Amino acid sequence: MSTPATSKTTPPRPLSPFMIGPYYKPQMTSMLSITHRLTGLGLSFGALLLVTWLVCLASGVDCYNAILPHLTAWYGKAVLVAFTWALLYHFCNGIRHLFWDLGKGLDMPTAEKTGWGVVFGSLLFTAAVWALALFVK
């Protein structure tokens, strides 16, 4: 892309992520928006982890048994709980985004209400999934 001639006369301005803090007051809705992006980025790595797990499973019992103790150890479980929450947060907030795309729930009181719904919903959902995994057999 060639730079338009006018850009040389434009003073440098602070861009998006650096606006929060010194220029914009952090708000619940903007924090949830950032969290959506961060969980999304984290889940990209989670997807690579899922693929690694499946490739290892497909390549045989030796490879699988080499990684299984790490998955079931306390630190492995902690990482999996974190990924579960990230997935369910991105899931719940993603549905909130789809409603916005339909033009619904865009007013501030509703956006804040659905925002808290996403926060508590994703935490409850994560707790329910892990209760199901650990205690219901």
Kindly state the smallest distance separating residue 115's Cβ from other proteins, in Å: 18
- Which CB, 28 or 38, lies closer to other proteins? 38
Burial state string for 67-85 with b = 16 or more CB within 10 A and e = fewer than 16? eeeeeeeeeeeeebeebbb
Which of 87/115 has CB closer to other proteins? 87
Binding track over 58-97 against other proteins, x by CB under 8 A: xx-x--xx--x--xx-----------x--xx--x--xx-x
Pairwise CA distance, residues 41 & 35, whole Å: 10
- Residue 3 burial class via C-beta count within 10 angstroms: exposed 0-12, middle 13-18, buried 19 and up: exposed
Cα angle 35-41-45, degrees, rounded to a multiple of 5: 135
Beta bridge partners of 20: 24
Q: What's the token pair of residue 116?
A: 């808290």
Stretch of 3-11, 26-34, 103-111, 113-121 contacting other proteins, by CB under 8 A: 3-11
Interface residues with other proteins (CB under 8 A)? 1-2, 4-6, 8, 16-17, 37, 40-41, 43-44, 47-48, 50-51, 54-55, 57-59, 61, 64-65, 68, 71-72, 84, 87-88, 91, 94-95, 97-98, 101, 129-130, 132-133, 137
